Amino acid sequence: MAPKGKADALVQKSPAEFFAENKNIAGFDNPGKCLYTTIRELVENALDAAESIGELPAIEITIEEVSKARLNRIRGVEHHDRLDEQLYQDFETEEAKKKRLAKEAREQEKLKKLIEKHGEGSKEAEAKRKELAAVAGAAKPGANMRGNLFYKVTVKDNGAGMPHKDIPNMLGRVLSGTKYGVKQTRGKFGLGAKMALIWSKMTTGLPFEISSATPRAALRSHYRLDIDIHKNEPSIHLEEQLPNPDGWHGSSLSLTIEGNWSTYRSYILRYLRQIAVITPYAQFMFAYKAEDDKNSVRIGFRRRTDVMPDPPALTKHHPSSVDLELVKRLLRATTAKTLAAFLQKEFDRVDKSLAARVVDEMQAGVEGDMSPRDLDEKQIVRLHQLLHEIRFSDPTGKHLSPAGEYNLRLGVMKELGPDLIATHQGDVRVFEGHAFIVEAAVSVGGKNVKPGINVHRYANRIPLLFEGGSDVITKTALRRINWSAYKINQATDKVGVFVSIVSTKIPFKGAGKEYIGDDVVEMVGAVKAAIQACCLQLKSKIMRAIAAREQKQRKKTLSKYIPDVANAIYSVLERMAGAAAGGGAGDGEAGPAAKRRRTEDPGGGGLLVRDEFGLLPAVAAKEVTAATLASRLSEYVERIDTDMALEYQVQQGLAAGEAKAPLYLMPLSGRHVHGPEVHTTTCVVKLLTGYT
Ligand SMILES: Nc1ncnc2c1ncn2[C@@H]1O[C@H](COP(=O)(O)OP(=O)(O)OP(=O)(O)O)[C@@H](O)[C@H]1O
């Protein structure tokens, strides 16, 4: 607060200072989350860099534990022996220690009792165990002290690399980047890598270590650089260009930060697993190197296809997406000589004749051959209004690069191995002049899937792991889909919902790119439609599965009774055959009727027997036994089952009105256009839809 009577002094902040003070806006909330977000930002840059040159990404991610002692050695800080132990937060008197240990023992005793009463793994025991894990260590003095949690994070890619002279600005100046154009990219704000550097600066003070080479470069750049937060400027510690004899291209970025592996380990691994699902054409090698090697982790997510989606293309601004300030900026920066040429050159969906009509509509003395720079303030305002009032065709969406149903399906199959899966790619839709495409996969069953609806979200092919509750995908999946209408039990079935949205503008809430708001009506509609389309496909699969299950069950039930039924019938037949042989009279009829026998029950019960098939003599001669009857009954059950299955298939085919088309087998060639796939237990049949 300013001293009384004095006004607050005016202070200006650099963007770097602002983000350093509000790092949670960019997803850098606490040490654990910072470790996660650092990995995420570097991995996403690596993927963007490889895809931008059409290279199948191969990415190495290493997190190396750095003890405080090692960190101090790196920083040149001398070893420090404590003089006065009692000064420190982790000091504990003998009495306090005794009390703490006694309490811990009591809690362990309670857990033991719960296990005895409800069993190991029971709900009660697990809840207690969780409670103990949550408070473990928290009661220890000094628990809040920042401990030994430092990590060297290195991410290496085989991407486009960075031009030598641009590296300091790209990685040492907040809000600078190459992804501000109208293009679908994972990065957008020119912030992520610098936030990681700021975090490193705030916690360890160590700089960025960067190696990078562009394709076919004879030299490789090596930088050690830092950021001057106050000036928002790079500060270079080391700059050199080294020979690049093996023609390597890509980047390797390394930072040493404070973090918390144990609390964010599961998020980091989940993130990698999910990015492997949506990017099956990439290879990720992950290594966590602990100081104690037994705690180290190594995981590889192998490339599962060489089919990479076409890279996204740069497009122009759609007229309905521009604001007044952007119109002014475009007018200033354009190389077009006339207003008509400006409209045609700078905007999507504006051809020559439409540009001329827009200029005519400007009126007030504006001519098509007028220079864009000569427009006065009022004319610019008029132009901006017209751009929003005139009906322009929607963007085509050809510049977008969705993962593709093939990749999405492949990723889900490989990671979850579900029992059933359906995928769908929606049409190109538009919001605020930006095209977007929603793709979805819905799976049922699979490994490591919890019962219920498990939502997996992707935006521009980035997995989104946090703030799910407010996200358009989660809300739509949980609240706007009537799962039971598709024969899916929302509570007990293991349902995986994967939704991926790609666009030149993802309406993220916040610079941390954690979730997409639920307030964009167009997006809500597209997400719902994509999930429903998958559910519809699943419904027929599920109904077929249910019918097959019921059929199997029916057969099992019928077969179970066969021995008893055969024995019962046989014993009746045996009695009848005995009675017939013992004096029953024929009915005297001729012809076919001669086969029939009528006999009176020897017991006098008045039983009338008609032996339609001439069975009784065969029974009497032991040609027909209980075993014969059982085998004939089994055959019959088998036959009606096959008949019913055939009947069902025919009805399904007719009911679904499926179009039938001839099917041919042929060798694959590069000219074939891939269509959907048919997955069986032994093979995958690729359907081809034509030639290029
Ligand atoms: N591995 C890399 N390979 C090539 N270029 C890179 C790499 N990492 C970063 N860059 C370049 O540095 C720029 C800045 O990266 P940074 O992570 O700060 O922001 P961004 O990716 O553009 O956006 P966002 O803040 O949304 O992540 C990028 O735009 C890109 O041009």
Q: What is the interface pTM, i.e. ipTM, of the complex? A: 0.99
User: For tokens 């004899």, what's the residue?
Assistant: 245
Q: Is 588 annotated as a binding residue?
A: no
Q: For 556-577, what is each residue's pLDDT tens digit?
A: 888 888 898 889 888 888 888 8
pLDDT at position 679 over 70: no
According to the annotation, is 157 in a ligand binding site? yes
- Amino acid 680: pLDDT: 60
Q: Is the CB of 506 under 6 A from ligand 1?
A: no
C-beta atoms surrounding 504 within 10 Å = 26
Residue whose structure tokens are 């192998």: 302
On whether 178 is known to bind a ligand per the annotation, the reply is: yes
Rounded CA separation 301/196 (Å) = 24
Residue 228 is assigned to a ligand binding site: no
Residue matched to tokens 């604001």: 323
Please state the φ and ψ torsions of residue 400, each to the nearest 5 degrees: -85, 160
| DSSP code at position 30 | S
Residue 365: partners with Cβ closer than 8 Å, 6 or more residues away: none
Distance in Å, CA 549 to ligand 1 centroid: 53
Interval 181-211: pLDDT, tens:
899 999 888 999 999 999 999 999 999 999 9
To which residue do tokens 């290879």 refer? 283
Q: Is 190 annotated as a binding residue?
A: yes
| Residue nearest (by alpha carbon) to ligand 1 atom 12 | 170
* pLDDT per residue as tens digits for the range 506-516: 999 877 788 99
pLDDT tens readout for residues 393-433: 989 999 999 988 988 898 888 778 899 999 999 999 999 88
- Residue 605: per-residue pLDDT: 42
Check whether 54 has a pLDDT greater than 60: yes
> 21: Cβ–Cβ under 8 A, 6 or more apart, which residues?
13
Fold match, 15-74+148-301 / 406-532: no
Q: Is residue 4 very low, low, confident or very high in pLDDT (cuts 50, 70, 90)? A: low
What pLDDT is attached to residue 569?
87
pLDDT for 243: 96
Contact by Cβ (8 Å): 523, 436: yes
Torsion of CA 344, 345, 348, 351, to 10 degrees: 30
Q: How far is the centre of ligand 1, averaged over its atoms, from the C-alpha of 429 (Å)?
A: 28
Q: Which of 3.90.226.10, 3.90.580.10, 3.30.565.10, 3.20.20.150 would CATH assign to domain 15-74+148-301? A: 3.30.565.10
Task: Name the residue at shortest CA distance from atom 14 of ligand 1.
Answer: 177
Q: Which atom of ligand 1 is nearest to the CA of 26?
A: 25
Give percent of the chain above pLDDT 90.
50
Cβ neighbours around 105 below 10 Å, total: 10
- Highest mean pLDDT pick, 74-83, 124-133, 213-222, 568-577: 213-222
Give the integer Cα–Cα distance in Å for 545 and 553.
12
Assigned CATH class of 319-389: mainly alpha
pLDDT at 142: 64
Report DSSP letters for 627-669, one per residue. HHHHHHHHHHHHHHHHHHHHHHHHHHHHHHTPPP---------
**Span 586-601, mean pLDDT?**
42
Query: Cα–chain-centroid distance for residue 101?
Result: 44
- 39 in Cβ contact with 153 (< 8 Å): yes
Tell me, what DSSP letter sits at residue 370? S
The protein residue whose alpha carbon is closest to atom 21 in ligand 1 is 187
pLDDT tens profile 225-257: 999 999 999 999 999 999 999 999 999 999 999
- Sketch the domain layout of the chain as residue ranges: 15-74+148-301, 92-140, 319-389, 406-532, 546-656
Q: Which helix (H) or strand (E) holds 476?
A: helix 472-479
Please name the residues in contact with 337: beta carbons below 8 A apart, sequence gap of 6 or more: 371
Question: Which pLDDT belongs to residue 598?
Answer: 45
Q: What are phi and psi of 95, to 5 degrees?
A: -65, -45
Share of the chain above pLDDT 70, in %: 85
**387 CB near ligand 1 (under 6 Å):** no
| Residue 255 in contact with ligand 1 by CB distance below 6 A | no
Average pLDDT over residues 85-92: 83
476 phi and psi, to 5 degrees? Answer: -65, -45
Tell me the average pLDDT across 663-675: 69
Q: Are 477 and 442 in contact (CB under 8 A)?
A: no
Q: Lowest-confidence range among 548-552, 586-590, 670-674, 687-691?
A: 586-590
Q: Which range among 46-60, 540-554, 664-678 shows the weakest confidence by mean pLDDT? A: 664-678
Pick the CATH number of 406-532 from 3.90.550.10, 3.30.230.10, 3.40.50.2300, 3.30.450.20: 3.30.230.10
Distance CA(217)–CA(219), nearest Å, equals 5
Instruction: Decide if 23 contacts 111 (C-beta within 8 A).
Output: no
Least confident of 51-60, 526-535, 637-646: 637-646
